[in-house]
Structure 1
Amino acid sequence: MPHTIVTNTCEGVADCVDACPVACIHEGPGKNVKGTDWYWIDFATCIDCGICLQVCPVEGAIVPEERPDLQETP
């Protein structure tokens, strides 16, 4: 099951982008409610490796399940 980036918790650090082995993490348009850039995970491409969870410095920004209700997807 793919992981989810919680749009309104993400702070746009983007450590996950370079760490992802399948390049399934993309920048979202605009800013989130915190006023920061945000990223989203393409559920169809995610291989559930968990690397994004390990490298993200923002607690709670990524959850280990597919939660489209928490992640805005352009």
Structure 2
Amino acid sequence: MSKKAIMNGEWCKSCQYCVKACPQSAISRGSALNKAGYEVVVLDSEACVGCGICYTVCPDYVYTIAEE
């Protein structure tokens, strides 16, 4: 079984730490806004390898890592 990141965009504050940290470039800047008015990053679940770096660097607990 493999792991993948799951994100809650409503918690995203667009700090972009995850975009810079992702070794697979599976996270990119987004243009959609969440309810708080922040641009939500976009997670490419096909490119994600479930390494958990996004989970580690995110100060707002946007990510969880789950078994597929």
Structure 1: gaps spanning 5 or more residues: 67-74
TM-score (structure 2 length as normaliser): 0.84
Alignment match, 1:28: 30
1:49 and 2:41 are equivalent in the alignment: no
- Distance in 2 of aligned mates of 1:65 and 1:39: 19
Structure 2: gaps of 5 or more residues: none
Q: State the number of aligned residues.
A: 65
One-letter amino acid matched to 1:32: N
Match in the other structure for 1:64: 65
Fraction of identical pairs, as percent: 31
Q: Which protein is richer in strand relative to its size? A: 2
TM-score norm. by structure 1 comes to: 0.78
Q: Which runs of 4+ in 1 moved over 4 A?
A: none
